[in-house]
Structure 1
Amino acid sequence: MTAACAVLAAGLLAACGTSGGTGEGTSEGTGKGTADGPPPAERVPKVTSSADVPGLPLDAHALTREQYLTYMKGQRVAARRCMARFGFPDFRGLDSSVDASYRGDRADPSRYFYAIDATGAARYGYHSPPEGPRSTPPPGGGTTAAENAVYQGANAGRRVAGRTVPEGGCSAEAYRVTHEGAQAGVDILSGVSRPRYDLYRQAQRDDRVRAAFAGWSACMRRSGLAYADPMAAQNDVRWRKAAAATREETAVAVADVACKQRTNTVGVWWSVLAAYEKRYATRHRDELADLRRAREAVVRTCARLVAEGER
């Protein structure tokens, strides 16, 4: 998986949650049958809109939008310098990765806890609201087979434009250049998002969250809607078939939000998830400190590369 794909996949965290899923967990446990049991829940906030959802403990360690953009721009400079040596000064293979619309890797309530805001539910149902214009690469942003062979290292060891292609190609060289001075083996992009996904799934399976889902489900049944949990409503196959929300979809989404508010489903869900993240942060304090130092070192290097430009 490329660096950009790792980050973008992390942004789809909540979409990976499926009704009744089991999944693989980390050593933090599932809230059931673990050696030390589920962690004590944090205080339960009253949530009636996304503005009421507090930040989560691992947000402090998550990749920010600014860090991501600096990192990807630095990777692009390093890759272009390498590609230029092999006769490809106009390489644009990383342009699409430098996406100014990327919002960072901190918890987004609308992704983590699905529909929360009544106004959005009534207007968009379970569809995402339209976003601002995404940055687009300049014309000619595609790559040729010859460029890809050098960038990915498919012809490593061979001579191109009078030079020997390094192992791993210019992609590996760009990684080495941007990570110079950083601790080896630290995943600065998904060092938080990977364990966070496991923690999210554990919280979904926790008895306290399942009880909150059961209360929400009972509320939905009183409106004539049979869904086991909020994920089942969000992922109803009928919504995926339409490009925009249908009247039926918005009606279900409005009922969903109303039941979340009546039962404070999101408040309970957040409190349990926050407890798992807090325990993880405590147990992995050293690793998170290593992540912070490595990320800061890489971002400094990338900022210098960007400042130097293409020269």
Structure 2
Amino acid sequence: MGNSLPLDLYAPSPKEQARSDRAQEALERACLARYGLRWNGPGKTALETGRRMVLSKQAARFGVVDASQAARYGYHAPAWSTYNPHVSDVLDQHASIPPDVEKVLYGEVANFGDKPVPRNGCRAQAAERLVRGAPHADRELPDRLADRAAVASAEDPRLSTVLSAWRTCMTRAGYHYASPYAAAHDPRWKREGAPTEKELTVAVADVRCQNQVRYLPTLVDVTSRHQRELISRHTTELGRLKRLKDIRAQNVAEALATQPSGPVPSQEGDEPG
């Protein structure tokens, strides 16, 4: 995906998350098979959830910056995004699990037949297998640092200059907002239901003005600089997190190579690349 940021290195990409979820599912099924239990895994679209969550988070972090998205959805989340309130109707989780499978999958019983069940079940065992050999690390640290970088970026003079130019452009179009964030959170835009024509019109003008003043390239550049500064102050913690990520990727590759794979998530045509 374009417009990557330095801290992205320490979190799974959408593709990496999808592979990890498929490995988790394969290990769960293999564990259940040892108890004579056959399970085809979660619902057909459940393996989409993790990938789409990562993709949606990345796509939403700069706000609405794409002209076609603005014209189609306004400031609403696109249909594929997990921020869309209706997407949960499609991205089912572990639904309709047979009772015996559920007992062993989640460790609701100590034994099944004549065999002991792993503590917290096959699901926990599979999750532990994917981080085997990895160091303990603070997985929330990148998000906390990203928040700090965003606050610093909002006060950066370079971004302030661009926002001033954006406000001038929007004023000429007949709209008065302090920032793209303020435009997107106008209380007139209802979160539920389809966007109004007014919302679509404002969103299109917003993105057009962003493009004229080079808002997104400036925002990415400024945010990247502040993220790099924070990374330089947390090299030890982030180094452990990168090591965990690399080892997990190795474990995922091994699991996928040795276990029969489950259904491969489909790709939605209007998702960002």
Q: Matched residues in 2 for 1:212 and 1:240: separation?
A: 28
Q: Which residue does the alignment assign to 2:242?
A: 292
CA apart distance, 1:261: 3.3
One-letter amino acid matched to 1:92? G
* Residue 119 to residue 99, structure 1, CA distance change in 2 (3 Å): closer
Q: Matched residues in 2 for 1:107 and 1:206: separation?
A: 26
Q: In structure 2, the residue corresponding to 1:269 is in which secondary structure?
A: helix
* Residue 108 to residue 166, structure 1, CA distance change in 2 (3 Å): closer
Q: In structure 1, the residue corresponding to 2:119 is in which secondary structure?
A: coil
Q: Matched residues in 2 for 1:275 and 1:137: separation?
A: 36
Q: Which residue does the alignment assign to 1:198?
A: 147
CA apart distance, 1:76: 1.1
Structure 2 gaps, min length 5:
82-86, 262-273
Is it true that 1:57 corresponds to 2:6 in the alignment? yes
TM-score for both structures, normalised by structure 1: 0.64
* Residue 55 to residue 175, structure 1, CA distance change in 2 (3 Å): closer
Q: Matched residues in 2 for 1:144 and 1:181: separation?
A: 33
Query: Is contact 1:122–1:250 with CA below 8 Å preserved after alignment?
Result: yes
Q: Which residue does the alignment assign to 1:83?
A: 32
RMSD, matched Cα:
3.9
Q: Matched residues in 1 for 2:105 and 2:249: separation?
A: 22
Q: In structure 2, the residue corresponding to 1:55 is in which secondary structure?
A: coil
Q: Spell out, residue by residue over 1:96-136, the C-alpha distance to the aligned partner (whole angstroms, 9 max, x if none).
A: 4422993695898752222323344334423455559x9x8
Query: Is contact 1:260–1:266 with CA below 8 Å preserved after alignment?
Result: yes
Q: Matched residues in 2 for 1:179 and 1:131: separation?
A: 29
Q: In structure 2, the residue corresponding to 1:116 is in which secondary structure?
A: coil
Is it true that 1:257 corresponds to 2:211 in the alignment? no
Query: Is contact 1:78–1:178 with CA below 8 Å preserved after alignment?
Result: no
Q: Larger helix proportion, structure 1 or 2? A: 2
* Residue 95 to residue 167, structure 1, CA distance change in 2 (3 Å): farther
Q: In structure 1, the residue corresponding to 2:51 is in which secondary structure?
A: coil
CA apart distance, 1:231: 1.7
CA apart distance, 1:273: 1.0
CA apart distance, 1:174: 0.9
Corresponding residue pairs, total: 252
CA apart distance, 1:304: 1.8
Is it true that 1:175 corresponds to 2:127 in the alignment? yes
Q: Which residue does the alignment assign to 2:21?
A: 72
Query: Is contact 1:91–1:147 with CA below 8 Å preserved after alignment?
Result: no
CA apart distance, 1:252: 0.2
* Percent identical: 27
Q: Which residue does the alignment assign to 1:160?
A: 112
Moved more, 259-268 or 225-234: 259-268
CA apart distance, 1:308: 1.7
Q: Matched residues in 2 for 1:137 and 1:55: separation?
A: 26
CA apart distance, 1:303: 1.7
* Residue 296 to residue 234, structure 1, CA distance change in 2 (3 Å): same
One-letter amino acid matched to 2:250? R
Q: Matched residues in 1 for 2:98 and 2:253: separation?
A: 28
* Residue 80 to residue 56, structure 1, CA distance change in 2 (3 Å): same
Q: Which residue does the alignment assign to 2:137?
A: 186
Q: Which residue does the alignment assign to 2:267?
A: none
Q: State how 1:1-311 maps to structure 2 within 5 Å.
A: 54-90=3-39, 92-93=41-42, 96-99=45-48, 102=51, 105=54, 110-128=59-77, 142-144=96-98, 146-153=100-107, 155=108, 158-183=110-135, 185-186=136-137, 190=139, 193-203=142-152, 205-208=154-157, 209=159, 212-213=162-163, 215-241=165-191, 243-310=193-260
CA apart distance, 1:277: 1.0
Q: Matched residues in 1 for 2:97 and 2:22: separation?
A: 18
Runs of 4+ in 1 over 6 A off after TM superposition: 106-109
One-letter amino acid matched to 1:250? L
CA apart distance, 1:298: 1.9
Structure 1 gaps, min length 5:
1-50
Q: In structure 2, the residue corresponding to 1:102 is in which secondary structure?
A: helix
Q: Matched residues in 1 for 2:126 and 2:224: separation?
A: 36
Query: Is contact 2:189–2:199 with CA below 8 Å preserved after alignment?
Result: yes
